[in-house]
């Protein structure tokens, strides 16, 4: 499959590289198919989660460990079913990166959305966004 991303140009995506989000993502429920890649020539400090359903939609994502954060997520039976997750070793967690604009319109500091990580079943290539009602953590 080939898409024309306005941000990253032409992208060729093999069928076995498509990640399905059966529920979509909050605010983007109609977008179900994505692919992960990292910019050419750069060390993979972050990845791009590119929508295949709307080529103009892409998110930066990263390993939460880059921010000193380690999740212990308990998925509901429904969430595990959506992911098709039988073995927890098949799960990977990434966080979306955000950059809110400053008052003068320039990009603000980069931050991670720790409240709503993405959980991916790397074996089945399925994902969901797990939104915590309350996030308890300690900074040491």
The rounded mean pLDDT for the chain is 89
Quick one: average pLDDT of 23-31? 95
Encode burial over 85-113: b for 16+ CB neighbours within 10 A, e otherwise: beeeeebebbbbbeeeeeeeeeeeeeebb
What pLDDT is stored for residue 103 in this prediction? 87
Please name the helix (run of DSSP H) or strand (run of DSSP E) that holds residue 49, with its range, or none. strand 47-51
- 17: tokens are 């590289």
Q: Which residues, other chains included, contact 132 with Cβ-Cβ below 8 Å and sequence gap of 6+? A: 115, 116
Rounded to an integer, what distance in angstroms lies between the CA atom of residue 83 and that of residue 125?
Answer: 8
pLDDT tens by residue, 53-106: 999 999 999 999 988 888 888 888 999 999 999 898 999 999 999 888 888 988
The per-residue pLDDT for range 98-132, each reduced to its tens digit, is 888 888 988 888 889 988 999 999 999 999 999 88
Assigned token pair, 74: 């308990």
pTM: 0.86
Reply yes or no on whether the pLDDT at 136 is more than 90: no
More confident residue, 48 or 100: 48
- The answer to whether 118 touches 93, Cβ cutoff 8 Å, is yes
Q: Which residues pair with 50 in a beta bridge?
A: 35, 58
Q: Which domains does the chain show, CATH number per domain?
A: 2-129 (2.30.290.10)
């Amino acid at each position: 499959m080939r898409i024309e991303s306005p941000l990253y140009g032409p992208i060729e995506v093999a069928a076995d590289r498509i990640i399905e989000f059966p529920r979509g993502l909050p605010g983007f429920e109609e977008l179900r198919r994505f692919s992960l890649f990292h910019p050419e020539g750069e060390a993979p400090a972050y990845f791009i989660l590119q929508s295949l359903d709307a080529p103009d939609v892409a998110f930066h994502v990263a390993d939460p460990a880059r921010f000193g954060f380690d999740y212990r997520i308990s998925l509901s039976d429904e969430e595990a079913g959506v992911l098709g997750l039988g073995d927890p070793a098949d799960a990977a967690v990434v966080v979306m990166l955000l950059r809110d604009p400053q008052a003068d319109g320039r990009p603000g500091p980069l931050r991670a959305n720790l409240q709503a990580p993405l959980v991916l079943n790397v074996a089945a290539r399925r994902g969901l966004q797990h939104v915590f009602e309350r996030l308890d953590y300690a900074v040491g």
